Chain A
Amino acid sequence: MMAGYPLLTILVFLPLTGVLCLLPLWQRQEWTRRIALLFGLADLTLAGWLTLAAGSARLLPGNSPPGFFLFEDLPWIGRLGARYTLGLDGISLLMVLLTAFVTLVGMVVSWNAIRERSALHYALLLVMESGIMGVFLALDLFLFYLFWEVMLIPMFFLIGIWGHGRRVYSAIKFFLYTLAGSLLMLLAIIGIYLLHGSQTGQYTFGLMSLTGTAIPAQAGIWLFAAFLLAFAIKFPLFPLHTWLPDAHTDAPTAGSVILAGLLLKTGAYGLIRFGYPLFPDAAKTLTPLLTGVAVIGILYASWVAFAQTDMKRLVAYSSVGHMGFVALGIAAWTPVALSGAVMQMVNHGVTTAALFALVGMLDERSGTREVAAYGGLWGKVPLLSGLFLLFAMASAGLPGLNNFVGEFLILTGTFRVQPLAAVLAFLGIVLPLAYTVKLLQEVLFQHERRPLALPDLSLREGTILTVMALIDLYLGLHPKPLLDLLNVPVALLTGLTGGAP
């Protein structure tokens, strides 16, 4: 019924339009944040409507490829063969929904925290939202690369301008790391573009055309490795993760929320959407490597997290561990594992964003993120403590909450092809519990260690966290609607590379 409108384009560029609307009111903090929030909400509404419509199959595909609800394809740079191709399937739909939601969370948590240059702050958040939306929707490698770089720059400024501590060092580290990976990816994109062109005479960046390219084994390995490196840095996978704790620790709360909630997902998404389908043979060859670093990452990062004294660093390391599960699910490439991996991306996005938001709120109140400064919060700030406990338990994989669903499906799906890796990863679920209950005990329980004046959650904070808590519960108890959305694309993807369903 609404298929006539370029819905995907609206989805991507609505936040950018928001930036334009911010311009005339640049100096009025009150107004800028409201307008930004309005555009964030509008994008979320659209994404939400798309989800409902997709669930009830109201978005009937016209000329779209199989599995895609919506598809937009226009000529763009004709001489290069780059096209403006956007497509929405179940996987990107969930990512789009997550993007719209987490960006909104980022706006809400910085409502009072950001007082300097707030217009710029919200403008950057909106630009980043556009970039990330684009990454999750682009089906043309050139376009994808463009969006990939677009989302990088606002984060650099977010950390560099509003960060804490060694913020410039962390921002540059984040930037260089990601850039190094993405430049290699650009080379690989050009490589496969030329390869396909020389084979067929048709020079194109379109994913659908490129997937059929016959790639010589040796070249395939190198091209895939370049993709893998770029995505592994974003993931981040062991041992390429060291930019993350620094970036998280020094980022403002909104930066951490979006970094953990969204940017890390782009790496996993890229691997699912581009890496594996473009180079199925090379991917098969390098799968043991991916499985290995995933398992090492799960165990190693959870272990290191145990020793952390800064709450943000702790959550950052826990992120590395949890994303290791996602990598494991992708490496297994079975239907159950892959849909589990996508679920886990959503789950981790919500739960970890909530944890970062909570840590940010504590930091905002008392000016420290040191675990040792807190203690005995339970009696003082019951609402905050209750939600902290809930999200911590979700993060530790308690069944009935969302993270368990993703992890369990990943492990179930992985066991079929990589039993040893699944068993090791399963042993890995003890370690998150160890650092989680340690954190809970030292922050929520025992006695207050420093007299801190901590007010409980405000209405704004309470509302956004409650919504996140409800999402955690809903996905933990009734993940079926989401899994159903993933069914078709995952079946198509896994069928593509020869894995039996």
Chain B
Amino acid sequence: MKLYLTLILLLPLLGAVTNALVGRKLPRRLVETIACGAVWGSFAAVVGALALYSSTPVTVELASWLSDFNFKAPITLYLDPLSLSLTLMITFVCGLIHLYAVAYMADDPGYVRFFVLLNLFVCAMLVLVLAENLPLLYLGWEGVGFCSYALIGFWYKETKNADAGRKAFITTRIGDTALGIAIIWLFQLFGTVSITELNRMGFLVPAGVVTTLGILFLIGAMGKSAQVPLMVWLPDAMAGPTPVSALIHAATMVTAGVYLLARMLPLIGGSGTALAAIAITGGVTAFFGASCALAQRDLKRVLAYSTISQIGYMVLGVGAGAVTAATFHLLVHAFFKALLFLGAGCVITALHHEQDIFRMGGLRDRPAIFYPFLTGALCLAGVPLTGGFFSKDSILAAVWEKGGALYGGLYGVGLATAVITSLYTFRLLYLVFAGEPYAPPFEKGGTGGISASADKQIPLNPPFTKGEAIRSLPRLMELPLIPLALLGLGGGLLNLPAFLGHGLLTDLLTPVTGPVHHPAAGTELLLQGAATIACLAGFLVARVRYAGTARQSRISEATREPSGLTAFLLHGWYVDHLYRALIIRPYERLAGFLWQRVDEGIIDDSLDRFADLLGRTGQGLGRWTSGRVSVYLLSLAAGAALLVGYLAWGLP
């Protein structure tokens, strides 16, 4: 087992190191082979570990890391059903995306750097998931943050891409700070940073402390998982290459927050307040993301906001104490969202790097793209019997079962979000795949956010005409979609509701979560009926607004400057503007002020003046020794007078 666990981490790391050191000298094919081989090798090691795994969690200490007096944070891995299922998903999805990236990056000269960072990311993500202690988790946590930063700004020549990377790094680090504080506080409280030990000791401290810790973890999760109010970085992160969006900003890294909360739930679950805060954050984020996705014009931005929204569901699930449901949705979402992003990459490449959905159309006659994308979209919309339907439903069911005004309200929010989700998903489908291939009369760029600048390393073709328009794609870009589509579609089988049969995932995760409470079959059916109606409602609205002739009028409308609600949603509720005005600008201004006025002005200047004063006093004193006898005599007399006076009155 130790061997397998070592290999899981070591292979991607070795891949990254090899390519970083000698990649520039190797033939391209070999670099790609090393990168993909490393990840698939890691996947094979996970499968090996799975085969060896027998009901009891495994802890393996590989090496020492931080070790100072009683503070011990070794490189120790912990394999339990939760980390096992995530590891399996991560290596598998990463493997597919690596293959896809080989084709996607075929024209890019920076492929060595790309694959190095991608491999490094896989390694950091696996460290995060497998870490047995919190500092090690933090190592992975910051490591994925760095890779995300470097990959968002991969095409670094564009200021906008570099800005997006920087924004992501700083925003997520704000959350990381909270996580860090939680770690050092936990060490102070319990004298250990081991996750398994901490999870057994939550009852030892007052509820208020647990609540605060829970909220610190939540803030950490908000950063990495793009939850309100730290979600602003994710839409901009779409500036990175599409495989990166699929891998980091949809399937794996952004769900790290959910994983963290699920992992620490035995500790923080002791506080109802913390759980409520988590649930509210999730619910609000789910609604926020879905509403913004409604108005986006950039294909990747629609998906980005939908990711925010879907992670909101997962966080809501954790807030309802349903780790299994959250994990279920995490896994299924990873499949179908990676699928959607890879599909989007195909669409964008086929349309010569067009990202504006209002300039797309007619792609349904490309079955290799259309059917996988459709599958992903059906999962996202929660169409009954798809994986997305079951996983989303299991979260909503858990929220419903929790009862009470708060969770009841959150169930309502979740259901409303489901309607919106279905609506924006079908809007996307109609705009991208229905109608005729569209040759736009207006210039590129529009108001769709990043559309003008993303993916622009390759020079843009002029607006194309019908027929010759659609580029054919390499097989390697289309093939990875198929297994993802199957997994997304059949994902429900992973964890069927109790009344339909056996919940595979539930069984697997029971040692982690404890016995799971299943809603009664009747309730379950009722809830699923509600979810079906929600999905159908969204579909119908989308059909009315975007199908057939309505589609064309929507497209003509889109040429106008957005206003009112559309603009509000398009700009993500203007949160970016708010932060810019309230935080970033003042910070920048004050930095200049502190430097010019305070540091050089007050502190340094006062010293210069002091020095000046000393100098002038010295000169003044110097003038005294002028060599004129009269001055000396006068000084002598004055001195003598002072001395006599002192002796006469001072010493009675």
Contacts and interface: CB of A to CB of B under 8 A. Distances in A.
Interface string A103-138: 000000000000000000000000000000000000
Contacts of B551: none
Interface string A464-487: 000000000000011110010011
B438 interface: no
A433 B180 CA distance: 15
Given A242-B604, A483-B67, A430 B157 contact: no
Nearest to B185: A415
Given A307-B595, A411-B180, A480-B64, A242 B156 contact: no
Contacts of B63: 478
B372 interface: no
How many of chain A's residues touch chain B, expressed as a range? 35 or more
B599 interface: yes
Contact of B173 (A423, A429, A480): A429
B188 interface: yes
A212 interface: no
Contacts of B181: 422-423, 426
B170 to A, nearest CB: 6
B572 interface: no
B139 interface: yes
Given A412-B71, A430-B174, A398 B146 contact: yes
Residue in B170, B174, B600 with the greatest tally of chain A CB atoms within 10 Å = B170
A437 B142 contact: no
Given A239-B603, A242-B604, A303-B591, A429 B68 contact: no
Given A304-B594, A335-B69, A444 B64 contact: no
Contacts of B595: 304, 307-308
A336 interface: yes
- Chain B: interface secondary structure? helix
A415 B591 contact: no
B83 to A, nearest CB: 19
A365 interface: no
Interface residues of B, number: 51
A430 B594 contact: no
B590 interface: yes
Contacts of B139: 399-400
Interface string B587-622: 110111011101110011001000100000000000
A157 interface: no
A398 B142 contact: yes
Nearest to A486: B68
A437 B157 contact: no
B143 A399 contact: yes
B180 A429 contact: yes
A416 interface: yes
Contacts of A379: 157
B213 interface: no
Contacts of B588: 306-307
B40 interface: no
Contact of A412 (B67, B174, B187, B596): B187
Contacts of B165: 437, 441
Interface string B133-168: 001001100110010010001001111001101100
A65 interface: no
Query: What are the nearest 5 A-B pairs in CB distance?
Result: A445-B156, A307-B591, A242-B604, A399-B139, A306-B591
Interface of B: 63-71, 135, 138-139, 142-143, 146, 149, 153, 156-159, 162-163, 165-166, 169-170, 173-174, 177, 180-181, 184-185, 187-188, 587-588, 590-592, 594-596, 598-600, 603-604, 607, 611
16 contacts: A242-B599, A303-B590, A307-B596, A336-B71, A398-B146, A399-B142, A412-B71, A415-B188, A430-B177, A434-B170, A434-B587, A437-B166, A445-B156, A478-B63, A479-B66, A501-B70
